[in-house]
Amino acid sequence: MTEGNASIVILITTLTVVLLIVIIIVIFSIFQNRKIKFLCAQRDAEQRYEEEIIKSQLETQEQTLQNISWELHDNIGQLLSVARLQLNMLQPNLTEDQKALVNETGQIISKSLQEIRTLSKLLNPEVVRNIGLEEALQLEIDRFNRLNFIRATLNVVGDTVSINQKDEIILFRILQEFLANSLKHSKTSKLNITLTYTPQHLTIKTQDFGIGFDKKTIKKGSGLLNMKSRAKLIDTKFDFQSEKNKGVSLTLIYPLNKENV
């Protein structure tokens, strides 16, 4: 074989090897891209599935709360109203001491009836949707203050912005769960909620000043994880801080640049 022929053979062989390498790289790239797309599609499908599960759970919970609300308002509320009416009917035939006792009992029934009616409103998603987030929170704050266990305040900074009503319900349920847990576990005497409106965000900061707890002790399925899942569903940043003997704080940052109704 002449030197020229050898050079041609080497050149052809080199080009063939390079071409094969290029083909392998292209095939590998195509495979990787398809794999990445498949994994992304799978991840998106799993995320959509999880979101649908959460939405279904929320819808079931809201329907349950609505049923409880109706039960409180229509049945228990009416029974208490009847009990109060019957007490009033007894008064003309009682002694002064007995009348005083009946009046005191009637006042207790009236207060109980007021609490049941307020709780009925706060449990009913339709009522919360109609009155809005701020008024619903104020009702909850007022209810806490009437219990005389805790002093709660609500502050609003900036101009109020209307937000999506479904998102509003979710935000309220997150805060309602936080408030209930604080009332039950924190041993605090003070609780603050601040709503801050900016052109981009609604920032909600809730703080109690109780005993706090160690976040490492939180178990899967707890109220905290439930609140976090709800926040994720509406693209809301969720920050939960707790320190023993220094209280618990919850910060929610809800984007206002989404389509609101």
Residue by residue, what is the 3-state secondary structure of the chain?
CCHHHHHHHHHHHHHHHHHHHHHHHHHHHHHHHHHHHHHHHHHHHHHHHHHHHHHHHHHHHHHHHHHHHHHHHHHHHHHHHHHHHHHHHHHHHCCHHHHHHHHHHHHHHHHHHHHHHHHHHHHCHHHHHHHCHHHHHHHHHHHHHHHCCCEEEEEEECCCCCCCHHHHHHHHHHHHHHHHHHHHHHCCCEEEEEEEECCCEEEEEEEECCCCCCHHHCCCCCHHHHHHHHHHHCCCEEEEEEECCCEEEEEEEEECCCCCC
Does 82 map to a domain?
Answer: no
Task: State the greatest distance between any 2 C-alpha atoms of the chain, in Å, as a whole number.
Answer: 135
Count: domains in the chain: 1
Those residues of the chain that have pLDDT short of 50 are 221, 260-261
Does 250 map to a domain?
Answer: yes
- ∠ at Cα 132 (126, 136), nearest 5°? 85
Q: What local confidence, expressed as pLDDT, does residue 219 receive?
A: 53
Does 84 map to a domain?
Answer: no
Q: Which residues of 1-19 are buried (b: 16+ CB within 10 A; e: fewer)?
A: eeeeeeeeeeeeeeeeeee
Does 186 map to a domain?
Answer: yes
Does 167 map to a domain?
Answer: yes
Does 22 map to a domain?
Answer: no
- Domain CATH code at residue 241: 3.30.565.10
Q: What local confidence, expressed as pLDDT, does residue 261 receive?
A: 43
Q: Which domain holds residue 188?
A: 145-261
Q: What local confidence, expressed as pLDDT, does residue 125 receive?
A: 86
Does 10 map to a domain?
Answer: no
Does 149 map to a domain?
Answer: yes
